[in-house]
Structure 1
Amino acid sequence: MTSKAIPLPHLVGFEERNGSWYAEDVPMADLANEFGTPLYVYSRKALTEAYQAYDRACVDASGKRRARVHYAMKANSNLAVIDCFKKLGAGFDLVSGGELARALAVNAESQSLVFAGVGKSAAEIAQALEAGVKCINVESIAELHQINRIATKLNCRAPISLRVNPDVDAQTHPYISTGLKGNKFGIAYHEVLKTYREAAQLPQIDVVGIDCHIGSQITTTAPYLDALNKVLDLVENLRKEGIVIHHLDLGGGLGISYGDEIPPDITEFTNILLDRVAERGFGHLDVVLEPGRSLVGNAGVLLTKVEYLKPGIEKNFCIVDAAMTELMRPALYEAHHGIVPVKTKPGKALTYDVVGPVCESGDWLGRDRQLAVEEGDLLAILSAGAYGFVMASNYNTRPKPAEIMVDGKNVYVIRKRENTKDLFASENTLPE
């Protein structure tokens, strides 16, 4: 099926009014005119409503907190975005020393930070221990011993959780599946009990949790329940051996609608998982949820200008000023994003491939799109809030775009546009 048959996603914070697209109460055309293109635009309303959809399930009818959201900032790590979630009450899931530094830059509490990642360096482990993070998620036996050695040098205790690879098919794109035995992530299910026994004997290690993450852009509940049941079986076996688990980290990965996907309602989905935890007799555990894409994916758009319309024998090309350097997902995953004219106009729609100016055949943003556009028009690439700017590059010496946050009628520049000189300011030529 071609992209032209895929409907637009349901969005919060972005809508068409009388033929013009708005970000909350601000016309997108005004944003493009003031700040230039390409331009990332985020809606604070969309961020807030997505977070609250999770949080509603995290508190039971009596007011007792059943779980806490730890935003997976790899999806979008702009300081304004993570500060927005901190103010709403979120903790953070980190996968690098750089992300840890970002969390500390917005004054996130150290006990709200979970440090994950399959290849943490010794420096990053030391950075996490010195910051006093809630937990370090361990992905291999070798890493476990590295953490113990570093904690010994620092004369501190290292709180750890083992990341379980449950060998569960998340039914998602193979590049973003993380819970199969052929993936690089986590400790093989049959090795987990043995590894916990080993961890419990290490002098500077405190076993505090268990975690599992099976992939991203998952649109059904069944894989989560399969993985959760396997993890809870492990918790039961650990309890029998006297190894006490204090928190259960269920990871993230819930998908969004880019068009024709129908993911579960966030609140219903979260209730299903937390109810299963309680039904299995583990309602006393501190539960951590780590959503990323489902919090920010549909809270951002990428604005771009049509530079040229290039008719062809087999394809018509709509060449825009955004590229794979601004939005890598189509080139990397063949991902679909809705694309709409910022202002609709009369005229016959033609079928275009929307492509960028980068010198790669893989530089495309949308294929077979029905668009009534002219050169100079503006397009909005939807659902670009997750894995958009964070995966941007400077390939072809292209400066990265600005990022804007809209809050009602207010507009904030949350990242300035780079200029070309920024890109080689740290470089040097050879001496004569």
Structure 2
Amino acid sequence: MSNSEPQRQATVADSQAITVQTEHGLYIDPQALSAHLPALSYRDNELYIEDVSVSGLAKQYDTPCYVYSKQAILDVYQAYSDSFASLEHQICYAVKANSNLAVLGILAQAGAGFDIVSRGELMRVLAAGGQAGRVVYSGVGKTYSDIEFALQQGIGCFNVESISELSLINEVADQLDTPAPISLRVNPDVDAKTHPYISTGLKDNKFGIAHEQALDVYAQAAAMSHIEIVGIDCHIGSQLTEVAPFVAALDKVIELVQALADQGITLKHVDLGGGLGVRYIDESPVSIADFADALLPKLTELGLKVFFEPGRSMVANAGVLLTRVDVLKPTEHKNFAIVDAAMNDLIRPALYQAEMAVIPQQLPNGGMQADDTKTWDIVGAICETGDFLAKDRVLALAEGDILAITGAGAYGFTMSSNYNSRPRASEVMVAQSQQQLIRKRETIEDLYRDEMRWQDQ
């Protein structure tokens, strides 16, 4: 296994190389990467989030620990809102990306709406100070009690995903004697060219109503006693790095809006979902401004209020997962760095084969030297071969080092579990030089507090 210093070759069109693919692994320049991520910076070779040192955070809150930048979240929300300022619009943050009450609360205060997929997410939004009237309720499996609760709270809109759901909403609304505002989530059969697990707009996906069936289903909805048709919705996938699939989906939606108008069904809004991608390491996603520029001419001509449901792009790069190196295990064929985070804390690498950056809290004085580096797999202590956070990374490591996994603000804690009876990590938010614990670390006792031993009768 070679320890030779990587030869710098840019893999993205930046002034400084971020990644270098060597013969034995991937070298990520931590300073070059941090320059492209909000809130992260190195000061005197030490990593900071806003004005708070990662070293201090690890000492105070221990590891593993999720840390989020308040300003980074608000900046992306504002970028969406500003980019579509010429239109009446509503930015509905996708709660599933990161549902911590502190995250929801700062967005509610900023004026955001919310996209939810469960009754639990609606209750979180309300607990955080959000307004039900600014919530769109998506998801394929809404139950009677889910719909009843949402209507009682004054939900803004149901994004309906099947004829069966439409009938159930009408039944519940009839029982409550209240109109139910709905849009149909139309599946436009547009290939988002993303990971198959996060593609949602193809015929093979479980989501939405087929494009060719949409007019008939709208006609059925218009005939129902307690259904109020207010919009049309589509969502084609996640982590999209180019705008062309969004434009293709919008064109299909516009066709339906015009056909509905010909049938006397007028809409108040069009919802284009979310899915805009982010840079995890060296991706080149379309910017929010360019995304808006590509859609605005068509949306302006359409003349309807516009909803968007961003999630990942709002919070992914606002967060990091801090973890400590517990054991270094070099072998003849592979070097393993065993850290205190694991796949139960961050399942994206194992589930989606996601490549996420791993950067050190402390840079060596004088820079990275050839003799310092080895190629490591960053793995957890869970009893699964699939328990890895990164593979084949060129790093200089010592036991006790603190590492930051970037891009972890979305689909990190929300997808975490207690597998192997591991307590879930704490969550912290920073704002300039301030820091606040926004979720306590679970204790082992928490894991079985509500369980009961079997008692022979």
TM-score of the two chains, using structure 2 as the length reference: 0.91
Aligned-pair CA distance for 1:107? 2.2
Report the Cα distance in structure 2 between the residues aligned to 1:273 and 1:86, rounded to whole angstroms. 26
Specify whether residues 84 and 3 from structure 1 end up closer, same or farther in structure 2 by C-alpha distance, changes over 3 A only: farther
CA distance in 2, matches of 1:162, 1:3: 47
Identity %, equivalent residues? 51
Q: 1: distance between equivalents of 2:124 and 2:80?
A: 23
User: Take 1:3 and 1:51, find their aligned partners in 2: how far apart are those partners?
Assistant: 36
- Aligned residue runs from structure 1 range 286-301, under 5 A: 286-301=305-320
1:407 aligns with 2:427: no
The reply to whether residue 54 of structure 1 matches residue 76 of structure 2 is no
1:36-55 deviations in Å (ceiling 9; x for gaps): 00000000121111111111
2:386 to 355, 362, 366: 362
User: Is 1:343 matched with 2:362?
Assistant: yes
Q: Output the amino acid matched with 1:352.
A: W
Q: Is the 8 A contact 2:358 2:403 kept in 1?
A: yes
Moved more, 217-226 or 80-89: 80-89
Measure how far apart 1:102 and its partner are.
0.6
Q: CA deviation at 1:366?
A: 0.3
The Cα shift of 1:86 comes to: 1.1
1:18-64 Cα deviation digits (max 9, x unpaired): 2110011111011001110000000012111111111111212xxxx
Partners of 1:178 and 1:276 in 2: CA distance: 23
- Whole-Å separation in 1 of the counterparts to 2:222 and 2:232: 13
The CA deviation string for residues 75-128 of structure 1, in whole angstroms up to 9 with x for no partner, is 000000011111111100010000000111122122111111011121111111
Paired residue type of 2:199? S
SS in 2 for 1:386: coil
SS at match of 1:236: helix
Distance 2:25 2:84 in 1: 37
The aligned residue for residue 32 of structure 1 is 58
2 CA distance for matches of 1:310 and 1:197? 64
Which residue of 1 is the match for residue 4 of structure 2? none
1:254 to 246, 264, 276: 276
Deviation at 1:66, TM superposition (A): 2.9
Deviation (angstroms), 1:273: 1.6
Per the TM alignment, residue 204 of structure 1 is displaced from its structure 2 partner at its CA by 0.8
C-alpha deviation, 1:271, in angstroms:
3.2
Q: CA RMSD in A?
A: 1.2
Deviation at 1:6, TM superposition (A): 6.0
Residue of structure 1 equivalent to 2:346: 327
Q: CA deviation at 1:256?
A: 0.1
SS of the aligned residue for 2:411 comes to coil
Query: 1:3, 1:336 within 8 Å by CA — same for their partners in 2?
Result: no
Q: Which residue type is aligned with residue 385 of structure 2? A: S
Instruction: Report matched runs for 1:106-121 at 5 Å.
Output: 106-121=128-143
Give the one of 291, 296, 299 matched to 1:274: 296
The aligned amino acid for 1:335 is A
How far apart, CA to CA, are the structure 1 residues paired with 2:132 and 2:346? Answer: 32
- Aligned with residue 239 of structure 2, among 198, 217, 223: 217
Cross-structure match for 2:11: none
The answer on whether the counterparts of 2:37 and 2:317 sit within 8 Å (CA) in structure 1 is: yes
1:399–1:419 contact (8 Å) kept in structure 2: yes
Give the superposition deviation at 1:3: 6.1
Whether 2:217 is the aligned partner of 1:191: answer no
CA deviations on 1:213-256 (whole Å, 9 max, x unpaired) are: 00000000000000000001000000000001111001000000
Map of 2:110 onto structure 1:
88
Distance of 1:87 and 1:426 partners within structure 2: 34
Deviations 1:178-230 (A, max 9, x none): 00011000000110000000000011111110000000000000000000000
* One-letter identity of the residue aligned with 1:309: L
Q: 1:122-161 maps to which residues of 2 (within 5 A)?
A: 122-161=144-183
CA distance in 2, matches of 1:175, 1:287: 27
Alpha-carbon distance between aligned partners in 1 of 2:130 and 2:282, rounded to the nearest angstrom: 36
Q: Does the Cα contact within 8 Å between 2:25 and 2:375 map onto a contact in 1?
A: no
Three-state SS of the structure 2 residue aligned to 1:294 is helix
1:179 aligned onto 2:201: yes
Amino acid at match of 2:132: S
Shifted more, 236-245 versus 114-123: the winner is 114-123
Q: How does 1:63-82 map to 2 (within 5 A)?
A: 65-82=87-104
TM-superposed deviation, 1:274: 2.6
Equivalents in 1 of 2:298, 2:339: separation in Å?
A: 48
- Other-structure match for 1:201: 223
* CA distances 1:269-303 after superposition (whole Å, capped 9, x unpaired): 1232232212xx312x1110110000000000000
Question: SS in structure 1 opposite 2:302?
Answer: coil
TM-score by length of 1: 0.96
Unaligned runs of 5+ in 2: 1-20, 366-370
- Contact 1:58 1:68 survives alignment (8 Å): no
- Structure 1 letter corresponding to 2:127: A
Give, in angstroms, the shift of residue 314 of structure 1: 1.4
Q: Is the 8 A contact 1:47 1:299 kept in 2?
A: yes
Match of 2:190 among 168, 173, 176: 168
Whether the 8 Å contact between 2:200 and 2:237 is mirrored in structure 1 is yes
C-alpha distance in structure 2 between counterparts of 1:323 and 1:374, whole Å: 18
AA aligned to 2:71 is: K
Q: Which residue, out of 36, 40, 53, partners 1:14? A: 40
8 Å Cα contact 1:170/1:214 also seen in 2:
yes
How many equivalent pairs are there?
Answer: 425
Q: How far off is 1:5 after superposition? A: 5.2
2:330 pairs with one of 311, 324, 345: 311
Structure 2 distance, partners of 1:286, 1:201, is 24
